[in-house]
Every structure is written in C-alpha cells, then in structure tokens.
C-alpha cells in the first residue's frame, strides 16, 4: 500500500470539487486591497469570508504599530520563549489581555490552534475526564488525540446531554474539564453558556470557553460570550485568537488559577515553537486598544449581520439558527455548495465553502463572515446575487417569503 492510498476516498471527493473549474481550497488572492476587497483571478472581488470581523487588518494605527515594531526590534524572534527568552512586548501583551478579562494570568501562543491544542491536552491527563461539544473545532478534537484523559462528546449546545454524561461519571476519581465555544465557526450559533455553567457547577467540572469567533463581537466590552452571559468569573479558562477580530495571528489563554504559569513549562505547543514576531505583538496590542475604544464597530458588525441574515432569510435561504458574525447558508449537497460557491466567485463575491467532513452532521454550507466595515450596499448586492444564483440552482423558490427571525447577541 502506498503512502497516499489511505486518502483515496478524500482524493476522489476533492476531484469532484475541482471539476467545477475552480478549487475552493487553493484560492489565490493576487492582491488584498482592503478588509472587504481583493483581486482574485485578475478581478476585484467582494470578500465575505475572512473572519475579519472588525476590519482591523487595514486599521492605520495597527499597521503603524507593526511597522514601528519591525524598525525597532526586527522581523522575528527566531526562537521559542522558553529557549530564547521573551521580549518585553510579549509580557506586556499578556498583561494587557489578562487585564482586559479581569483575570490574573495570560499565556500567549503563536496561533489560536496551538493555544487550544496545548492547553486542553495538558490540563487533563491520565484518569481525568474531558467532555467536548460534538461540533467542536478541529483544534479541540486534535487536543483530544494528544491527551491521556478519557474523552466523551455531548450533543451540540445541549446542556442536558452534558449533564447526563457528567452524572454517569458518578464518583469516579479524576478532574472533569468541559470545552465550549462562544460562537461556533460553521453556523455562527452561540452556546447556552449560562445553562452549561450551571451544570458544570453542579458536578464540580472546570469550564474552558474558546472565544475565537466571539472576541470583540459579543459582550458589553467585547470580551465574548462569557461577558454577554454574565459568567466571566465562572469560566476557569478562556481561550481566544488574534487572527479574527484583532486582525493578525496568535492565540491566548487566560485564567485565575494560581498555578497557571506551570503551563509555560508543560505545554509543548508553547515551548517548542517560535514566539510571535514583534510586529504581530505590536499590532495586536494596538488592535485591543481599538476594540476597547471603538464599541461602535461592534454595533456596525451586528447591523451588518442583521442586513445579511435577514435579507437571505427573507429570500428563503436556510441559515444557521441565529444571528451571528458567521452566516452559514445550508445547501442540499456538496456539489450544489461548490457550484454555488463557483457562481458567486464568477459574480465577484468571495465566500467560504464548507463541506463534509469539515462540517457538523454532514451538512454542506456556504460560510459567509460579516465585517463591521462592509457597506450596506455591498451586502444588499450580495443578497441579490445569491438570490439569483439560488433560484437558478433551484435552492430557493421564485417568491420571497417573509419570516421574522429573533436576533441574538
């Protein structure tokens, strides 16, 4: 058996996807013009699939901070913080994030993926119990493969399903750690966090919440679902990323646990990879200041979410269950999703296509992510284009239907 034979099934599915004439997994942005526009295939495209929720990748103050940091400290750290030492700015960034959450400790990672992978797989070990939502991100599933703890899945966003699993553990020894996400990345839905926290308290389980897609978007001051549901103090660990709302790359974990810093010499994805370069640290520190100083970006984001979600819903598209900065559009199958995606690209709009096995319950989706700096005209144009394609492909019927959708934030 050849090394690649085991991927034969996937190869076949991938070939199917590429028969549409474009490869959604190898899109090349020839030139990125702004948070909402890029040149792809020689044409200017509207970008609605970038996770750039506040549009901060082109914020002048963040860009200046990064440029200044390169001039002052160079392009890279060329080593890990354990082996080669930390820069002052790494430590300052950690202090600022800890302060933002009102937690005592923060550790910064080189990517959000590494934050989840390292923290989750290290917090629990032999004899412990890790309970994860069935729709968890790949970084959480990968952490499960690395830990010696027993891993059990519970039904997506279902506190009673978690409760039955915690109850079955009975008086078995070992810590219980429950992993939740603020906003789920495929359908844009939020966890019923308060209910989950109540269950965790009842059974003495630790709670870790990944706020990757909710940082900035949720909560009075943008701290995420923990803040908007009022359970910041009950969440033992909050993980997040710099690569979405903060417009750069990197990950973090905050906690009040007095022994938290031991993770710096136990989490391998922290210890054995190069630390964030000065430019990234500087732009992230500035982006965090922008998030604090400009709450209007959050309002703009949710106004845009309402425009896109309600507009598509009124045309009869089947969407994720609630308003969210990610708007997932359900399509009947993989080929329709890829065909729809290709037609959007031809019409000058870039979104993401998400097909099994990357999606929950085997659904095929167009995944749109909304930006605070999208204009209303851009989004209305997108709804028109999608409506046209949807009718041609028979995904929606000709007549729009009116449906009232409860907003949630």
Partner 1 sequence: MPDPGTGEPLLRTAHQLIVENDDIASTLELPRLASRLDVIREICRHLAPYQAGERPIVGATVIAKDLTIDSLAIMDMVMELEDSFDVSIPMNVVAEIHTVDQLADTILDLRAKR
Q: In the chain, helix, strand, coil percent, each to 5?
A: 45, 15, 40
Cis previous bond, 358, omega within 30: no
134 is an interface residue for partner 1 by CB under 8 A: yes
168 is an interface residue for partner 1 by CB under 8 A: yes
Q: Which is nearer to partner 1, 44 or 202 (CB)?
A: 202
Binding mask 6-45 for partner 1 (x = CB under 8 A): ----------------------------------------
DSSP notation for 195-227: HHHHHHHHTT-EEEEE-TTTTTTSSTTS--HHH
Nearest distance from C-beta of residue 361 to partner 1, angstroms: 7
**Chain centroid offset of residue 117 CA:** 14
Identify the residue among 40, 117, 124, 151 touching partner 1 (CB under 8 A): 151
Q: Which is nearer to partner 1, 133 or 210 (CB)?
A: 133
- What is the distance between the alpha carbons of residues 165 and 167, in angstroms, rounded to a whole number? 5
Binding mask 329-358 for partner 1 (x = CB under 8 A): ---------------------------xx-
Q: Which is nearer to partner 1, 361 or 408 (CB)?
A: 361
- What is the distance between the alpha carbons of residues 52 and 247, in angstroms, rounded to a whole number? 6
CB 370 within 8 A of CB 188: no
CA distances from 346 to 14, 43, 350, 364, 385 (A): 20, 10, 9, 20, 10
152 is an interface residue for partner 1 by CB under 8 A: yes
Q: Which is nearer to partner 1, 206 or 317 (CB)?
A: 206
DSSP notation for 138-171: HHHHHHHHH-SSEEEEE-TT-HHHHHHHHHHHTT
Binding mask 353-372 for partner 1 (x = CB under 8 A): ---xx--xxx----------
175 is an interface residue for partner 1 by CB under 8 A: no
176 is an interface residue for partner 1 by CB under 8 A: no
165 is an interface residue for partner 1 by CB under 8 A: yes
Residues that bind partner 1 (CB under 8 A): 134, 144, 150-155, 161, 164-165, 168-169, 356-357, 360-362
């Amino acid at each position: 058996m050849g090394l690649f034979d085991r991927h034969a099934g996937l190869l076949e599915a991938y070939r199917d996807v590429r028969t549409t004439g474009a490869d959604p997994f190898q899109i090349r942005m020839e030139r990125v013009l702004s948070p909402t526009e890029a040149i792809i295939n020689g044409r200017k495209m509207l970008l609605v699939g970038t996770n750039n929720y506040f549009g901060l990748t082109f914020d002048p103050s963040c860009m200046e901070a990064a440029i200044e940091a390169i001039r002052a400290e160079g392009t890279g750290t060329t080593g890990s913080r354990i082996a080669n030492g930390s820069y002052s700015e790494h430590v300052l960034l950690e202090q600022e994030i800890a302060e933002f959450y009102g937690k005592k400790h923060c550790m910064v990672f080189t990517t959000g993926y590494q934050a989840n992978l390292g923290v989750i797989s290290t917090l629990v070990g032999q004899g412990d119990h890790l309970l994860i939502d069935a729709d968890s991100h790949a970084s959480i599933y990968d952490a499960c493969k690395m830990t010696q703890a027993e891993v059990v899945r519970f039904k997506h966003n279902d506190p009673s399903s978690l409760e039955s699993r915690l109850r079955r553990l009975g008086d078995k020894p070992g810590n219980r750690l429950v992993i939740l996400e603020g906003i789920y990345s495929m359908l844009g839905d939020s966890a019923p966090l308060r209910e989950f926290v109540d269950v965790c308290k009842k059974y003495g389980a630790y709670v870790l919440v990944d706020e990757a897609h909710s940082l900035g978007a949720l909560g009075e001051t943008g701290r995420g679902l923990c803040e908007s549901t009022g359970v910041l103090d009950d969440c033992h660990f909050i993980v997040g990323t710099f690569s979405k709302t903060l417009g750069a790359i990197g990950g973090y974990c905050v906690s009040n646990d007095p022994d938290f810093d031991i993770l710096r010499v136990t989490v391998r994805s922290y210890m054995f990879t190069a630390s964030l370069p000065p430019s990234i640290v500087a732009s992230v520190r500035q982006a965090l200041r922008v998030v604090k100083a400009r709450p209007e970006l959050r309002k703009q984001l949710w106004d845009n979410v309402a425009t896109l979600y309600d507009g598509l819903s009124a045309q009869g598209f089947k969407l994720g269950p609630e308003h969210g900065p990610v708007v997932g559009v359900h399509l009947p199958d993989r080929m329709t999703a890829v065909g729809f995606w290709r037609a959007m690209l031809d019409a000058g709009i870039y979104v993401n296509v998400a097909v099994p096995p990357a999606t929950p319950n085997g659904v095929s989706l167009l995944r749109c992510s909304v930006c605070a700096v999208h204009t209303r005209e851009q989004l209305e144009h997108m709804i028109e284009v999608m409506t046209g394609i949807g009718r041609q492909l028979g995904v929606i019927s000709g007549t729009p239907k009116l449906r009232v959708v409860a907003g949630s934030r």
